Structure 1
Amino acid sequence: MRNVTSLLDKLLQKYEKSVRPGIGGEPLVIKTNMLIRSIGPITESEMTYSLQCYLRQSWHDERLKFDLPNITEVTLSNSFLKDIWKPNTYFLNGRLSVQPNITVPNAFVRIRKDGSIYMSRRLTINAKCPLNLLDYPMDAPVCPLLFGGYGYTTDEIIYRWPANNKSGVEIYDDVTMSQFDIASILAKNTTYSSSVGTYSGLEVYFHLKRHIGFFMLQTYLPCTLIVCLSWVSFWINRDAAPARVLLGVTTILSTAAVGLIQRDGLPRVPYATALDVFLNVCICYNLAAIIQYAAVNYFTKIIPKEGSTSDDEDVTTEDTKENQNGVNLSKLPRKTQSRCLFLFCKCLIGNFRFRYDMVASADITSGNSVSNIDILSRYIFPFSFCLFQAFYWAWYLGLKPY
């Protein structure tokens, strides 16, 4: 111990820590690797992520060579780092990154007899992660981590991943994330150019895959069941207007509430995500169920259950006079009225003549039977929604062209 203490004092006696090793010669190579201890969470609203890692760097400094019997390397505490030159590595896309200091600053350094220096620091890194949420929640985000040296060009310092490690980034086997799986980690050497010069740097890309199970249970399944619930109105008697209207409004509000909850943690992006598409289609189906009842009420609800003519529509004076003049309204052409487009146009313009013709041609003794529109809707709505679901999942789970 006395020999080591004497050696360190001697090494640092004329050591100038502001001058990089090998100045005036070849560029200094900083070999770097990382060990990921934990990663996450990823915050979509701020488009950031965090991770804890051990950042390890090694380089060669001729000024720290020593020769002691039976000693090849010396491990020193973080306090020794204050007295020697070290790389001023920083994270280009980092924000609010810190080095834990409990119970002491989490860093140490080893010096080998040939002047090789190995430094390890434990860091908590917060970095930007630009997210493309078009496929959310079936997206696979890629979060980068960019770092290099501050102030030194490639003529002075070059950062490199170790040649014997393809990625230079290791990760503990027990590292898991609640919302994502780590598909792969890609690391590469790079350079950055500016008006001052060219700088060496390193890049790490975390390829992630989002878990969809949470969204299936909390969004997709409830919204699908709510849409199916809106179809119950097709089996309710068309005379029960309060029941059918209330059911339709309730399903719309329920779907909208689910959508508001799921969008709460998302940034206000100017495009529709996959989740937005699904929720809006569900709302359209719920709205279509209400519009369908309006069509049933207009086209087929001709007389009340007691058998008297309906009094919920006003008939124009001209129509009444025409009926009083002996025109047989029941003998009007039915071919034109049977066309869906024609009927739809009559509904949009609120044609009372057409309405009065249907009242006059009704069978008073039969009352309001099951509407043909309801019968047709029982098949069209489920079939089209199943078709949409098949296309939706096929598109967002891998069949889209981009």
Structure 2
Amino acid sequence: MELFAWQKFIHFFCLILLASSALADAEIGKESAVRQKILKDIFKNYKKHDKPNEHSVTEVDVNMKILAIFSIDVLTMDYFIDAYLRMRWVDPRLTWNNDSGIEQVVSPQLKDKVWLPDLFFRNGKKGYLHTISQPNYLMRLMHNGTLTFSQKITMRYSCQMNLKTFPMDNQNCKIDIGSYAYQKNELNFIWDRSKKDGRKIELDTGELEISEFSSLKPEDFITTECGTTTGTGEYSCIEAKFVLRRQIGFYLATTYIPNILIIIVSWLSFWVSVDAAPARVPLGLLSLLGILTQANSLSSSLPRVSYIKAIDIWLIFSIIFVIGVLVEYAIALTVVRAKKANLWHREVREIVHQELVTWCSACQQQQLLEMNQQPGYQPGLDAPNFCDSLEGLITQHVVDKNDKSKVAVKPPSSTESEVDRYSRFLFPACYLLYNFFYWIYYLYLVNFIETDNLNQTNKR
């Protein structure tokens, strides 16, 4: 008996479930039918090519959520952005009474049925829409005629860069949005007014990490509304400006530090004898070749601009310092050779005069001996001096024949050059002084001036 009661209860419960499911399906079907009827009614006489508010200005609220900024290229002066682009406007022709409980319709197919603002990126170079696995866009229609259109885009924007302080530079870039066909009295773009915090640009994370540059925060984006006049009329536009602050770490590791080490290695020639030309000359030439290779590699990745960049000044002075090492060697070698030549001439003169004195003394003794052997020679008479004609030459160089130290050849002096001794301190001191002024100027003074100019521009 109890088993039969349980079977009846289970059957009754299943019937209730089936009835509930049928009622839910019927309700869904009814809601779907109501939605289809609403869409049919509002699009019955709708013309998608006609602008809403034909005789007044249509205002479009714009908002962007930036997912990533990447591929910032100084050679082509552009950058890429992945973002969600959102637009919101009111089309009075698409309103309906929400007594039916249907407050909104979300359907991708609405995109092909309604009028859309002709938004374009004024500084855009190239872009594409994401279509995997379906076209990435959202179309929402509210009962009061408010349309929200959102799509994921990847855009390549131009950014005119000033590279005078590269790689310690700050680049002012922007996202410039405007209307292509509708004039300002027909269509007006404004940044999203629903954002109470004033941040019109959203970021996917708290900070946006950018390779080679400092991270960006939402408050780093400055949004403004503008207008532009062309030959066809005056058009509405909006801008989002931001500053890309380059981090110097990469260039320190790949350019500056290797360059400094090459300069230091070139100074080793000051400790090498000036007679060792096969060691000193190749050392200077290899240092020069290393810097020129660096400069050539760097110039291939930078645009051909008409002004000198900070990195150019660094490389130019590096080349000057290395060439200075080679010039110093030429001067040191010339000075040492001149000293050796003077020493050699002095030693030759001393030897020649010593030989002349010895020869003259021998000649006098031989003459006296011959005169003593002649008949009628009187010893009290002075014998003629055969060395009188050489007296003017040997007066300053007469050497006592018993003083052997005065005629001994001096030992060869060291080939170390005084020019090298001075250069060991002069070159590093000049290089340190140059580095001091270079880094002070580009890291502090120029950055301070650029920041001040940027603040004044933003105030305007």
Q: TM-score range by the shorter chain?
A: 0.7 to 0.9
Q: Does the Cα contact within 8 Å between 1:46 and 1:267 map onto a contact in 2?
A: yes
Q: Does the Cα contact within 8 Å between 2:208 and 2:215 map onto a contact in 1?
A: no
| Secondary structure, counterpart of 1:231 in structure 2 | helix
Q: How far apart are the structure 2 equivalents of 1:366 and 1:205?
A: 74
Q: Does the Cα contact within 8 Å between 2:126 and 2:156 map onto a contact in 1?
A: yes
| Distance change (3 Å), C-alpha of 1:32 and 1:165 | farther
Match of 2:201 among 169, 186, 190: 169
| Distance change (3 Å), C-alpha of 1:90 and 1:49 | same
Letter in 1 for 2:200: G
Letter in 2 for 1:261: S
Match of 2:80 among 50, 70, 88: 50
Report deviation, 1:240.
0.5
- 1:75 lines up with 2:106 in the alignment: yes
- 1:94 lines up with 2:130 in the alignment: no
Instruction: Name the residue aligned to 1:210.
Output: 246
Report deviation, 1:181.
1.7
Report deviation, 1:364.
5.4
Q: Does the Cα contact within 8 Å between 2:69 and 2:210 map onto a contact in 1?
A: yes
CA deviation profile, 1:112-163 (whole Å, cap 9, x unmatched): 1111111101111111111111011000111222111111111111111123
Q: How does 1:53-68 map to 2 (within 5 A)?
A: 53-68=83-98
**What runs of 5+ residues in structure 1 fail to find an aligned partner?**
310-325, 329-362
Report deviation, 1:208.
0.8
Report deviation, 1:195.
2.9
Instruction: Name the residue aligned to 1:2.
Output: 33
Report deviation, 1:303.
6.6
**What runs of 5+ residues in structure 2 fail to find an aligned partner?**
1-31, 346-391, 395-408, 451-460
Instruction: Name the residue aligned to 2:263.
Output: 227
Q: How far apart are the structure 2 equivalents of 1:397 and 1:94?
A: 32
Letter in 2 for 1:237: S
Q: Does the Cα contact within 8 Å between 1:18 and 1:85 map onto a contact in 2?
A: yes
Which range is displaced more, 255-264 or 107-116? 255-264
Q: Going by fraction, where is helix more abundant, 1 or 2?
A: 2
- 1:133 lines up with 2:133 in the alignment: no
Letter in 2 for 1:22: N
CA deviation profile, 1:174-200 (whole Å, cap 9, x unmatched): 632211124522111100012332111
Q: How far apart are the structure 2 equivalents of 1:299 and 1:308?
A: 14
- 1:39 lines up with 2:85 in the alignment: no
Q: Does the Cα contact within 8 Å between 1:74 and 1:112 map onto a contact in 2?
A: yes
- 1:199 lines up with 2:229 in the alignment: no
Report deviation, 1:76.
1.5
Q: Does the Cα contact within 8 Å between 1:158 and 1:200 map onto a contact in 2?
A: yes
Report deviation, 1:372.
1.1
Match of 1:272 among 281, 302, 308: 308
Report deviation, 1:166.
2.3
| Secondary structure, counterpart of 1:229 in structure 2 | helix
Which range is displaced more, 162-171 or 8-17? 162-171
Q: How does 1:230-245 map to 2 (within 5 A)?
A: 230-245=266-281
Q: How does 1:1-400 map to 2 (within 5 A)?
A: 1-24=32-55, 26-68=56-98, 69-77=100-108, 79-163=109-193, 164-173=196-205, 175-183=208-216, 184-302=220-338, 365-400=411-446
CA deviation profile, 1:8-52 (whole Å, cap 9, x unmatched): 12211210001111111x311101110001111111111111101
Q: How far apart are the structure 1 equivalents of 2:444 and 2:102?
A: 59
Report deviation, 1:264.
2.0
Instruction: Name the residue aligned to 2:354.
Output: none
Q: How far apart are the structure 2 equivalents of 1:286 and 1:22?
A: 73
Letter in 1 for 2:257: L
Q: How far apart are the structure 1 equivalents of 2:430 and 2:291?
A: 19
Report deviation, 1:308.
5.9
| Distance change (3 Å), C-alpha of 1:364 and 1:268 | farther
Report deviation, 1:103.
1.6
Q: Does the Cα contact within 8 Å between 1:51 and 1:124 map onto a contact in 2?
A: yes
Q: Does the Cα contact within 8 Å between 2:287 and 2:322 map onto a contact in 1?
A: yes
CA deviation profile, 1:61-115 (whole Å, cap 9, x unmatched): 11111123223222211x2111100101011111121111222221111111111
| Secondary structure, counterpart of 1:383 in structure 2 | helix
Report deviation, 1:399.
1.1
Letter in 1 for 2:180: Y
Report deviation, 1:234.
0.5
Which range is displaced more, 163-172 or 244-253? 163-172
| Distance change (3 Å), C-alpha of 1:327 and 1:227 | farther
Q: How far apart are the structure 1 equivalents of 2:76 and 2:393?
A: 72
Larger radius of gyration: 2
Report deviation, 1:279.
1.0
Q: How far apart are the structure 2 equivalents of 1:2 and 1:43?
A: 53
Q: Does the Cα contact within 8 Å between 1:230 and 1:247 map onto a contact in 2?
A: yes
Q: How far apart are the structure 2 equivalents of 1:224 and 1:117?
A: 61
Q: How far apart are the structure 2 equivalents of 1:91 and 1:327?
A: 97
| Distance change (3 Å), C-alpha of 1:222 and 1:364 | farther
| Distance change (3 Å), C-alpha of 1:327 and 1:54 | farther
Q: Does the Cα contact within 8 Å between 2:79 and 2:158 map onto a contact in 1?
A: yes
| Secondary structure, counterpart of 2:43 in structure 1 | helix
CA deviation profile, 1:298-355 (whole Å, cap 9, x unmatched): 11234779x967xxxxxxxxxxxxxxxx999xxxxxxxxxxxxxxxxxxxxxxxxxxx
Q: Does the Cα contact within 8 Å between 2:275 and 2:415 map onto a contact in 1?
A: no
How many residues align? The count is: 350
RMSD: 2.2
Report deviation, 1:165.
4.6
Q: How far apart are the structure 2 equivalents of 1:327 and 1:298?
A: 31
Q: How far apart are the structure 2 equivalents of 1:156 and 1:149?
A: 10
Calculate the TM-score normalised by the size of structure 1: 0.83
| Secondary structure, counterpart of 1:13 in structure 2 | coil
